Chain A
């Protein structure tokens, strides 16, 4: 029984409970891939695509598992789906845009271990979303991830033009920046 509208679900995943800055999912690629704006935006697109595919498949798997009464196979099935979804997306991109494929390089297979995708599948199951709700949620989550990573990339590119103390260089400064970003996103609460 849900009282959330589709728009509310989308805004929730995108801004209010942003997948990266609030729910702590997808941190590894967020730290690793956010140094360049172009790779960041590509990663954001690839992740959104994989999220939508996985969300749909996870929904289907849940129906099957409920039907055969084997809820303990949920985690394993989700992993298998995500790995396959990533394979599919990889083949798709390779075929239709070899340049993009080369640009993404190692990042594409790494999406499999991206906790954001598995997190999305687990959250949508926990919230018992319907099919359309799951789809909108996946869109919002992917957009939220892309938003966060692009913002961070923009900030990091700006930072390269200035001198920062040696102690913060690397992951430390990314985390502190992420903290500030997370605080600003808190301002979106109460939007719906």
Chain B
């Protein structure tokens, strides 16, 4: 049942064209505002759940957490800051347990985003999770999945006066501040080391300087 465009011989006025586009735009905007408002609570719930799960992954004892942003030498609650984000994790008794720190850096293929757990009382990293990576599947992406690599981060010494974390390429680390690389994925492993070292250099001094503020559970 095809209809021919009978109005071809009539010139369409500009008003008609503007009116059409305008109405389409108006209906479109209404539809979008409705969709946005309806889906917003679900999206926010999803994102909060994902963040909580990631923090729990690297800070197993954390029941609740408070988000802070690093601002120069101090910390702020201001979420719009551009500094690195950290999450102060509190256990069931509302005592400060540790921090989950977000970090990112260039990997082999693209930027890698991670979150890692840090406990100030032992000055060590207790867990690391890869949030986003585009590393080579089956090789570089093992930084997220290989249990042996991940066990590197179960209690990694990162005391402030040390030279930082060192990557050992031939498996067989001897010191608590060393991590074993994944064979066949040296660059991705190096990337994680670099990301952690760079992040620690900025974040850890600020955490220790502001420990009192960060321990507050309000």
Residue interface mask A1-43, B partner, CB < 8 A = 1: 1011000100010001100000000000000000000000000
Q: A76 within 8 Å of B by Cβ?
A: yes
Q: A192 within 8 Å of B by Cβ?
A: yes
Residues of A within 8 A of B32 (CB): 72-73, 76
Q: B33 within 8 Å of A by Cβ?
A: yes
**Residue picked from B32, B105, B187, most chain A C-beta under 10 Å:** B32
**Residue picked from A3, A8, A192, most chain B C-beta under 10 Å:** A3
Residues of A within 8 A of B29 (CB): 73
Question: In the complex, which residues 105-141 of chain B have their Cβ closer than 8 Å to any Cβ of chain A?
Answer: 105-106, 108-111, 134, 136
Partner of A3, one of B35, B36, B105: B105
Bound CA span A71–B28, Å: 14
Q: B104 within 8 Å of A by Cβ?
A: yes
Residues of A within 8 A of B134 (CB): 17
* A72-B84 contact, Cβ under 8 Å, with A4-B106, A190-B108: no
Bound CA span A189–B109, Å: 6
Residues of A within 8 A of B110 (CB): 12, 17
Residue of A nearest to B83 (CB): A1
Residue interface mask B25-37, A partner, CB < 8 A = 1: 0001100110110
Question: In the complex, which residues 27-53 of chain B have their Cβ closer than 8 Å to any Cβ of chain A?
Answer: 28-29, 32-33, 35-36
